[in-house]
Amino acid sequence: MTKKLLIRELAQLIFLVLLSVPCLLRADDLMTIFEIALQNDPILKQAEAKQSAAGESRNQGLAQFFPTIKAAGSSGREWRHNKKTRLNSFYPSTQEYWNSNFSVNLTQPLFHWDHWVQLSQSDNQIAQAEAAYQAELQNLMVRVTEAYFNVLAAQDNLQFTVSEKEAIANQLDQAKQRFDVGIIPITDVYEAQAAYDQTVANELEAANNLDNQKEALLEIIGTNTVQVNSLGQTLPLKKPEPAELSKWDENAEATNLSIIAAFNEMEVSRKAIDIQRSGHLPKLDLVGAYGATDNNSSFGLRGDTQSIGVQLNVPLFEGGAVNSRTRQASFEYEAAKENLMAVKRSVKRQVNNAYRSILTNISRIEALKATVTSAASALEASEAGFEVGIRTMVDILSEQRNVYRAKRDLSRARYDYLLNTIKLKQTVSNLTQTDLEQVNSLLVANLTNK
């Protein structure tokens, strides 16, 4: 074989190898997924649109303090039928002429109490929408992290299930061989076969769950495929700082964005009462008008008029509508107050849950690490006992299940610890992209297709 031909064959071989390597070699880390979600998540975009819409409320409030100018005009052909008298006998009985009118009216509000209240109300509407948007942005961080870790947990579960199936398959092969030579009874073979069949079913369920978790992540980011990096073995375990739960409760009540949004929503409702009550107050306007008329009839009406002055409107009676609208606004204000209280209680529960869950996760991770080690030792002891006839196949299969159950629980506990750390910061609205970057630094690239 010539050197040139050898190089060509080598190039083709390398090309085939590269084709065989799946595109999963370039998995997406948490920050990459979050950046995609920022662009595509419809819930965040909805909050952003509402924020922009709320910003227009102040422009509308300011517009009420400026003058309103309206112009109107008309022109048309008219026919006039004159009744004959001694005074107008010289006029024709029928006149046909053009009649044109033009007018400009100006109204400048001088005192409208509801305009001032609405301007103040717009500030609360903007603050409420801004807080809601920022809350949704932090919620997106949590949703992405949770969906990302759910995919990782599902991948781990599938991998553990496959490994357990392979281990039981080996036990099944050994059981059949031992039965063939009369060392063990047929019941051990049946036990191993039943355990193997169960792991096959578990593998199908685990694969389906992985697909479902990926779909949940895709729902957020809006892309067709997603591959994720795995969590590394090194995971620093840190308790919440500050250590006092009461400090977290105080900070959450002062800074939580959902509470801020609910408070401003309540203020909007409170000021709506003043707006409705202003229906009893007088309104004062500066009004001006200019009009021009051109009438080509025999009377020859042509000229213009100007006027300027102040106009006072005093409401006297509207059938009780003002009082009814005021009561309605009062009820809506009471509802908004109760909603604020409900939000505060919900946030307090979230703080307590996340805080205690972190402490539980830390203890649970340490305990499960020991469980994995002890379960592996128990499995080795059972296998050794099986060799000398003091343990049965049922014992080995039971210990194998314990090993993989402990591994699954440890895997889930690690993800839960990180997720609860993120959630605790969300409760005090102190969650930033820097926190996601810290979590992202704990991930390692996958080199296999799980």
> The tokens of 244 are what?
């006092």
Beta bridge partner(s), residue 285: 109, 311
pLDDT tens, position by position, for the chain (450 residues)?
444 444 445 444 443 444 344 443 345 889 999 999 999 999 999 999 999 999 999 999 999 999 999 999 888 877 666 566 655 555 556 666 678 889 999 999 999 999 999 999 999 999 999 999 999 999 999 999 999 999 999 999 999 999 999 988 998 898 898 888 888 889 888 988 999 999 999 999 999 999 999 999 999 998 877 788 999 988 999 999 999 999 999 999 999 999 999 999 999 999 999 999 999 999 999 999 999 887 765 555 677 899 999 999 999 998 999 999 999 999 999 999 999 999 999 999 999 999 999 999 999 999 999 999 999 999 899 888 888 878 888 888 888 899 999 999 999 999 999 999 999 999 999 999 999 999 999 998 764 444
Name the residue with tokens 């517009």: 63
Q: How many residues does the chain have?
A: 450
**According to the model, what pLDDT value does residue 18 have?**
40
**According to the model, what pLDDT value does residue 405 have?**
94
* Separation of first and last alpha carbons in the chain: 40
**According to the model, what pLDDT value does residue 448 have?**
46
**According to the model, what pLDDT value does residue 92 have?**
57
* The domain defined by 21-66+111-282+321-444 carries CATH number 1.20.1600.10: yes
> CA-CA distance, 445 to 227, in Å (whole number)?
10
Q: How is residue 24 annotated by DSSP?
A: G
Q: Is 295 exposed, middle or buried (0-12, 13-18, 19+ CB in 10 A)?
A: middle
**According to the model, what pLDDT value does residue 90 have?**
55
Q: Give Cβ neighbours of residue 163 (< 8 Å, ≥ 6 apart).
A: 404
Whether the bond into 242 is cis, omega within 30 of 0: yes
**According to the model, what pLDDT value does residue 272 have?**
96
- Asked if 172 and 192 count as a contact pair (C-beta separation under 8 A), the reply is yes
Most distant CA pair in the chain: distance in Å? 144
Task: Single out the residue of 300, 294, 298 nearest to residue 89, CA to CA.
Answer: 298
Q: How many CB atoms lie within 10 A of CB 342?
A: 11
